[in-house]
Amino acid sequence: MIQMTKDLHTKRYTIEPGTKVDLDKFDPSDTSGFEGKDSDEQKESEKLNEDLRGLQEKLWAEHKAKVLVVLQGMDTAGKDGVIRRVFQGVNPQGVIVAHFGVPTQEDLDRDFLWRIHQRTPGKGEMVIFNRSHYESVLVERVHKLVPDNVWQRRYKEINNFEKLLADDDTTILKFYLHISKDEQKKRLQERLDDPSKEWKFSDNDIPERKFWDEYMKAYQDMLSETSIEHAPWHLIPSDHKWYRDLVVSRIIVKALEKLDLHYPKPANDLSTITIK
């Protein structure tokens, strides 16, 4: 049974600007608001999917606002799962998924935001970043690919970049999918055990686990330094996939509802037209 209002429920996972984040204080297995995965969860998930489809259709048709969804998290946190389930049934014309892998030499020859800016949404579009510009203060920091002063200054540069997007009518929704190390171990093992998931397993998955503590520190600093008024972070408990998807759906639908989207009025009076 649902135990709290949706607004209070989603606010509890928003990192207020200026907050010093300690990830040890956030339970990745939290399912607050539900006694368990039951019919209430299923009904609300279906309703949220329906609402999102309708809102995204208006966003595309009205062709004014822009929406950027940023997904970050450790391997197996569920970035692909969120894209697959939360955005199920949306119009592919107006929804674009951008994945950022290892920078090319062309990327490295320019500032770190050059390749990112090219993938930001245009009017009417919703763009989903599967990983993002934040890799530059995560992977590059943990593996010491750039000097400390370089990744440290990037917090300010990212904030300025997102302020530019927000000032240009882009709604920015940032989600950190928070899982436990034990849950990651379980999901990695599932990839090895299930032939249909083997393709997801990477040779880097095991070596990267050795840097878990360093990544947690990097994520803490990222959340603390870049959760700002026009683009706050949402820290989503992600050990339970159904709950992760539900909370993300709630936040996205609420944000789109605030945009007061409408289908555009026809340029001409259609009442006089007769189809023969």
Query: pTM, whole model, 2 decimals?
Result: 0.92
Q: Is residue 271 part of a domain?
A: no
Look at residue 121 in the predicted model and tell me its pLDDT. Answer: 97
Mapped onto helix, strand or coil, the DSSP state of residue 233 is strand
Look at residue 32 in the predicted model and tell me its pLDDT. Answer: 86
Give the structural domain span for 76.
Answer: 6-258
Look at residue 38 in the predicted model and tell me its pLDDT. Answer: 62
The Cα 222–Cα 226 span in angstroms is 6
Look at residue 270 in the predicted model and tell me its pLDDT. Answer: 74
Look at residue 8 in the predicted model and tell me its pLDDT. Answer: 54
Look at residue 266 in the predicted model and tell me its pLDDT. Answer: 80
Structure confidence by residue, pLDDT tens digits, 66-76: 999 999 999 99
Look at residue 35 in the predicted model and tell me its pLDDT. Answer: 61
Q: Is residue 266 part of a domain?
A: no
Q: Is residue 181 part of a domain?
A: yes
Q: Is residue 274 part of a domain?
A: no
Look at residue 274 in the predicted model and tell me its pLDDT. Answer: 80
Q: Which residues contact 163 (CB under 8 A, 6 or more apart)?
A: 228, 230, 231
Domain count, the chain: 1
Look at residue 2 in the predicted model and tell me its pLDDT. Answer: 38
Low pLDDT (below 50) residues in the chain:
1-4
Q: Is residue 268 part of a domain?
A: no
Look at residue 56 in the predicted model and tell me its pLDDT. Answer: 96
Q: Is residue 128 part of a domain?
A: yes
Output the domain CATH number for residue 243. 3.40.50.300
Look at residue 228 in the predicted model and tell me its pLDDT. Answer: 96
Look at residue 269 in the predicted model and tell me its pLDDT. Answer: 75
The Cα 228–Cα 158 span in angstroms is 11
Q: Is residue 272 part of a domain?
A: no
User: CA 15: distance to chain centroid?
Assistant: 14
Structure confidence by residue, pLDDT tens digits, 114-164: 999 999 999 999 999 999 999 999 999 999 999 999 999 999 999 999 999
Q: Is residue 43 part of a domain?
A: yes
One-letter identity of residue 37: K
Q: How far is CA 257 from CA 4, 53, 207, 251, 254, in A?
A: 20, 12, 42, 10, 5
Give the DSSP per-residue string, 123-146: TT-EEEEES-GGGGGTHHHHTT-S
